[in-house]
Structure 1
Amino acid sequence: MSGNRSEFEQGLAEMLLEDKENVQRVLESASEESIASTIRMGVEQGRQQVRRRKSRLAVHMTASAVIVLVLLTACIRVSPAFAELVREIPGLTGVVELIKGDTTLTSAINHEFIQPVNKSVSKNGYTLTVDGVMADQQRIVIFYTADGQGVSEDMDITDYKVTDGYGEPLEALIGSSYYAIGHTELEKDDATSIHDMMDIMLGEGVPVPGVIRFSLKLGGEWHEVDIPVDHSRFEELREEITLNKEFEVGGQRFLIEKALVTPLQASVTIRREPDARIRANSFIKLALVDEKGRRWETKGGFGMLDDGTTTLTFQSNYFEKPEHLRLVADGLLLSLKDQKFVINTETGDTLETPDDRIRLTNVQSSSSAIELSIEATRLNELEQFYGYWLFDHKAVFHDASGTEYTLLDHDGTQSTSRGDADGSGFMYEAYYSIPNKPYKQPLTFELYQYPGYVEEPVNVVIK
């Protein structure tokens, strides 16, 4: 037994050493500016393709985001208990790679908060194996391995389903991030096995099913595994704090209703008092901070901040057991309501805008739709990390005759973000589709959100 433990630990040490050497090569070949730019782009691209309210979110790791994980590789540590599990279920080796950079999952692993599954299904030379699952009242993480010829080429995974044991979809945000098993880029391209995880953030009040049905399409065939979830592992592990505390920032009033901390996620429910003039878009650098200055950053949330009540999610501090906790932010992103954006889609001109940084930049027509590209340029450091809903979901607009039309919905709003070409700041570009109709120009839209902010510290005691 001791020989096996030594062999595993030696393998883990070799893996970390290899990653450390890779980090050094990256740092030697890249400037400080390019690394910072890459990290910024990776963070922003992870926020693209967000679907509104109760829709699902599919987040796929992009090449520019990989460096963020590489730089954090050498920080990972696993407990002897988890090492024992790896020996029992070899597929769990991939968990070490997948949780890099996620302090919550790393902490959970080191507190043995994982349920081994080790269930497989094979069809036509392809195999789906669910290696393990983590679950609490707010978040479920499924770790799995896919094997088969060319799986790494097909792993821009969109063909998956996550339901309860009766086939009913879960009301949740779902993300994915994988790595191919291989040592060089060429080997990864030809890899026949990948490790992946499905990260599922449940909507508020959505119960964790006793069985989760995970389906993945490999080689054109659906592979389906039923995953039993042991509720006894987490049902008592929660800290709920009733607050009802008011605070104000930028003249906008908010009420923190409650906080919930579980092993895989912390959440804070906030209600905003209505304001007919100003739309609150997002807090700036929102985090939970304890008495030692440790920060747990926000990961997003459910609902739009200006809609009334929203649940904001954070990395969890459950296993750290802080004595005191505060909600902090550097300010608030906000914009005026009822602002017109007037364009001519025949000439490509922007005729009216509340901010001259926001303009129509491209118009492309097809038989059924007109595609619009709208840019917000010269964004500063505080404005750049938010994915603005320049137009509301399925917003109504009208032409010069007063006829009303509705934006088309092509799987949510698509957007990109990058540095301005002239180095003057950052650029955010959103893409929208409208019906291809014989409009009487110009067309008038209402800007739902656009860049603007107030710097004013937020510091509210949670406990």
Structure 2
Amino acid sequence: MAEHQKEEWDLPQMLENVRQAEERISDQRLETAIRQGLELGKARRRNVGLRRRVTFAAGVLACGLAVLFGWQLWPPADSGTMTVMGNSPSSSIPERVLSMMSEAMKKAAENGLYQPINKATEKDGYRLTVDGVLADNRTMIIFVNAENLNNTAVKEIQGNFFNANEDTLAEAKKYGLSSFDSNLSYENRNKPSKSYYYTLQFQDTPGQMMFSEEVELDFGSSSKKLDLSIPLQLDKEKFTNLEKSVPVNQVVQIGEHQLKLTRAVLNPLSTTLEFKATSKLKKEGVANLKNAKLYLGETRKDQFQYFLVPRDSKSELLSSEARSLSAIRFDTLYYKDYSEVTLRATGITGNTAEKGKLIIDTEKQTLGPDSPMRLKEIKRTKDKTELHIQHPITKQNPESSISFKGNFTDQSGKEYSIQEGSFSKEDSSITISSQEYSQPLTFPYTIYTDHITQQPIEFRIKLK
């Protein structure tokens, strides 16, 4: 028991709260959260494309989007709610979808935010169905069901998001996609029939998109990749006017850094705290908050408070070099009746940025002189070229990570887009279109190094 909890607790009420919390946390959600936490501890991955590999930890966009996974106990439901328009009876939602929904998801669905899709596609005995989508201004949850009719072993599954021209980066920038995650566990990928969902976080949720999965089937001595695509069309009128903005405008000073919490944004599926960070240090910004928690309800002496932990965070360029925190997302408080919440943290993670350029001749398969990296291999197909690179960041500084820009140039300075890629501390994989280039090619990158500053931080946020 914490030291400040001096008063005698009501034991029956405590047990009831624990029982309610257990009901709200499914075994699958708990297993997924633990697995993601363990994998995140091994390496922070960054994706240039918008792909989710369910066999590995989720990545984040290389354009400076940092993802922090968390797990929490849901607080007890409050009696008060906010009024929203629309109605979606639970009878119209498939049972397999309802069984995956958290209490917050069900509440949003009850208020008309679930949109049935009921579209399917099938290739080589593998059938993919999108049952429906739960969406608000900033969040899209895509409920899918996959049937492996031939019971062939599945080696890998990737979820993809793109527009009609299959331009993932342009779509990401247009709608401000900050994270793309799946709750499908490694253990469940080979079930003959499985239901799961993808969660996409946007600055502005699109009304239409192309959703697809790339499924790699394992035949032992060989493998085969299947691309299954389903177009999604949403009615944005169902959620366009539901967002609630609460101005905060509170500032804390941490050494040479200033962090301003500008506002809290409440949506039916998420709570977002938006920041503006500045620093006197040219090459360093506030990358994130350390041990951030959002405490629910008014702060009173000697009283226990429920809290939420971040689901992810978003960063942006503070200057031409440094990157700083711009938003932290938590689970929704939209249908709760809290008059006040408090954000607390134990300090900040400062982020120092050092830029560089990776020069590669993809024809000769050589790197430029004095390159700190090593070219492992180049794989070519008719449509794409994969560059596999190893870098020594782990040995130099275990708190460093690398991020490539979304574009590169040829010898003449002509610019091209990177199609997709994944970046970890140890190595990088970059995919570009297979075509004739004026060699060598130049890929700009930034190495970020974290520095922790311990200092208690608190923002008290009035919601009413």
TM-score interval for Structure 1 and Structure 2 normalised by the shorter chain: 0.5 to 0.7
2:376 aligned partner, one-letter code: Q
- Structure 2 runs not aligned, ≥5 long: 1-22, 59-70, 78-87, 216-224, 298-304, 360-366
1:365-404 aligned within 5 A:
372-377=389-394, 388-389=401-402
1:289 aligns with 2:295: yes
Counterpart CA distance in 1 for 2:140 and 2:282 is: 39
Measured in 1, the distance between the counterparts of 2:213 and 2:356 equals: 44
Q: Greater strand percent: which structure?
A: 2
Q: Mapping of 1:296-311 within 5 angstroms? A: 296-301=309-314, 303-304=316-317, 306-307=322-323, 310-311=326-327
* Partner SS, residue 59 of structure 1: strand
Cross-structure match for 1:131:
131
User: What is the distance in 1 between the residues matched to 2:147 and 2:230?
Assistant: 14
1:244 aligns with 2:241: no
Q: Larger relative contact order (C-alpha < 8 A, sep ≥ 6)?
A: 2
Shift of 1:228: 4.2
Alpha carbons 1:302, 1:310 under 8 Å: kept? yes
Q: Distance in 1 between matches of 2:53 and 2:324?
A: 30
Using the aligned pairs only, state the percent identity. 14
Alignment of 1:15-54 (within 5 A): 40-44=37-41, 47-51=44-48
| Cα shift at 1:437 | 7.7
CA spacing shift, 1:394–1:249, aligned 2, 3 Å:
farther
Q: How does 1:19-418 map to 2 (within 5 A)?
A: 40-44=37-41, 47-51=44-48, 57-62=50-55, 89-90=93-94, 92-97=95-100, 105-110=102-107, 112-113=110-111, 114-115=113-114, 117=116, 119-122=118-121, 127-150=127-150, 153=154, 156-158=157-159, 161=162, 169=171, 171-173=175-177, 175-177=180-182, 179=184, 189=190, 191=192, 193-203=193-203, 206=204, 208-209=206-207, 214=211, 220=226, 222-229=228-235, 231-232=237-238, 234-235=239-240, 237-283=242-288, 284-291=290-297, 292-301=305-314, 303-304=316-317, 306-307=322-323, 310-336=326-352, 362-364=374-376, 372-377=389-394, 388-389=401-402, 411=419, 414-416=422-424
Seen in structure 2, the aligned counterparts of structure 1 residues 213 and 365 have a Cα distance that, compared at 3 Å, is closer
When residues 40 and 226 of structure 1 are mapped into structure 2, their CA distance, relative to the original with a 3 A threshold, is closer
RMSD of aligned alpha carbons: 5.5
Provide closer, same or farther for how the CA distance between residues 231 and 456 of structure 1 changes in structure 2, counting only shifts above 3 A: same
2:76 and 2:115 map into 1 onto residues whose CA distance is 19
Q: Partners in 1 of 2:440 and 2:372 — Cα distance?
A: 19
Runs of 5+ in structure 1 lacking a partner? 1-15, 27-34, 66-71, 79-83, 100-104, 352-358, 397-402, 417-427
Q: Distance in 2 between matches of 1:404 and 1:363?
A: 23
Conserved 8 A contact 2:132-2:143? yes
Q: Conserved in 1, the CA contact under 8 Å of 2:349 and 2:450? A: yes
Note closer, same or farther for the CA distance 1:46–1:265 as it changes in structure 2 (3 Å cut).
Answer: farther
Does the residue aligned with 1:93 lie in a helix, a strand or coil? helix
* Distance of aligned partners of 1:318 and 1:132 in 2 relative to their CA distance in 1, 3 Å threshold: same
Tell me by how many angstroms 1:260 deviates: 0.3
- Alpha-carbon deviation of 1:269? 2.1
Query: Alignment partner of 1:231: what SS?
Result: helix
In structure 2, the partner of 1:458 is 457
How many residues are treated as equivalent by the alignment?
371
| CA–CA distance in structure 2, aligned partners of residues 430 and 293 of structure 1 | 40
Structure 1 residues 12-62: Cα deviation after superposition (integer angstroms, max 9, x where no partner): xxxx9xx87x999x9xxxxxxxx98x66433357952333xxxx5323333
Question: Hey, which of these two has a bigger chunk of helix by percent?
Answer: 1
Q: Secondary structure at the match of 1:258?
A: strand
Q: Which letter does structure 2 place at the counterpart of 1:334?
A: G
Distance across 2 between alignment mates of 1:49 and 1:379? 19
TM-score (ref. length: structure 1): 0.59
Decide whether aligned partners of structure 1 residues 280 and 407 sit closer, same or farther in structure 2, where only a CA change above 3 A counts. Answer: farther
Instruction: Summarize the Cα distance change of 1:155–1:431 in structure 2 as closer, same or farther, 3 Å threshold.
Output: closer
Q: CA shift at 1:242, angstroms?
A: 1.5
How far 1:77 sits from its partner (Å)? Answer: 12
